[in-house]
Amino acid sequence: MARELSDLQINKLSKLRLTTSKTDSPLSVQIKDLFHESSLQKYLKIVGSRIQAPNDKVTASLFVKRYAFLPVIYLYAMLEWNVKLSISYENVSMETDDNATLWLPSFRLANLKTETFKEDRDNWRKNCLESLFKEHLLPLIDCLARTTKVSKLILWENIAVYIYWLYETVLVEESTEEAIKNRAKEDFQFLVFQASGDLFGEDLKNPLTRYYNERIYIEEFGKEVRPRKTCCLSYLTTNKQRCQTCPHVCKSGN
**Based on the domain organization, do 231 and 196 belong to the same domain?**
no
**Based on the domain organization, do 164 and 58 belong to the same domain?**
yes
**Based on the domain organization, do 32 and 138 belong to the same domain?**
yes
Distance CA 239, CA 243 (A): 10
- pLDDT computed for residue 252 by the predictor: 52
- pLDDT computed for residue 79 by the predictor: 94
Percent of the chain with pLDDT over 70: 96
- pLDDT computed for residue 134 by the predictor: 96
Q: What is the CATH number of the domain that holds 126?
A: 1.10.510
Over residues 22-50, the pLDDT tens digits come to 999 999 999 999 999 999 999 999 999 99
**Based on the domain organization, do 237 and 133 belong to the same domain?**
no
Sign of CA dihedral 194, 91, 121, 67: positive
Question: Nearest-CA neighbor of 104 among 62, 145, 137?
Answer: 62
DSSP type of residue 215: P
* Of the listed ranges 25-34, 125-134, 169-178, 198-207, the one predicted with least confidence: 169-178
- Give the residue-averaged pLDDT of 143-148: 97
Over residues 53-96, the pLDDT tens digits come to 999 999 999 999 999 999 999 999 999 999 999 999 999 999 99
**Based on the domain organization, do 188 and 84 belong to the same domain?**
yes
Three-state DSSP at 202 gives coil
Over residues 197-254, the pLDDT tens digits come to 999 986 678 999 999 988 888 777 788 888 899 999 999 997 778 888 887 777 654 4
**Based on the domain organization, do 129 and 158 belong to the same domain?**
yes
Report the interhelical angle of 69-81 vs 178-189 (nearest 10°): 130
**Based on the domain organization, do 240 and 129 belong to the same domain?**
no
Q: In the chain, how many domains are there?
A: 2
**Based on the domain organization, do 234 and 180 belong to the same domain?**
no
- pLDDT computed for residue 24 by the predictor: 95
Residue 12: which domain range? 2-211
- pLDDT computed for residue 14 by the predictor: 97
Is the pLDDT at 18 greater than 90? The verdict is yes
- pLDDT computed for residue 96 by the predictor: 97
**Are the CB atoms for 83 and 121 separated by under 8 Å?**
no
**Based on the domain organization, do 155 and 253 belong to the same domain?**
no
Is the pLDDT at 110 greater than 90? The verdict is yes
Is the pLDDT at 179 greater than 90? The verdict is no
Which of the two residues, 117 and 7, has the higher pLDDT score?
A: 7
**Based on the domain organization, do 17 and 53 belong to the same domain?**
yes
**Based on the domain organization, do 131 and 144 belong to the same domain?**
yes
DSSP type of residue 18: E
**Based on the domain organization, do 174 and 192 belong to the same domain?**
yes
Distance CA 179, CA 181 (A): 5
Is the pLDDT at 154 greater than 70? The verdict is yes
**Are the CB atoms for 95 and 18 separated by under 8 Å?**
no
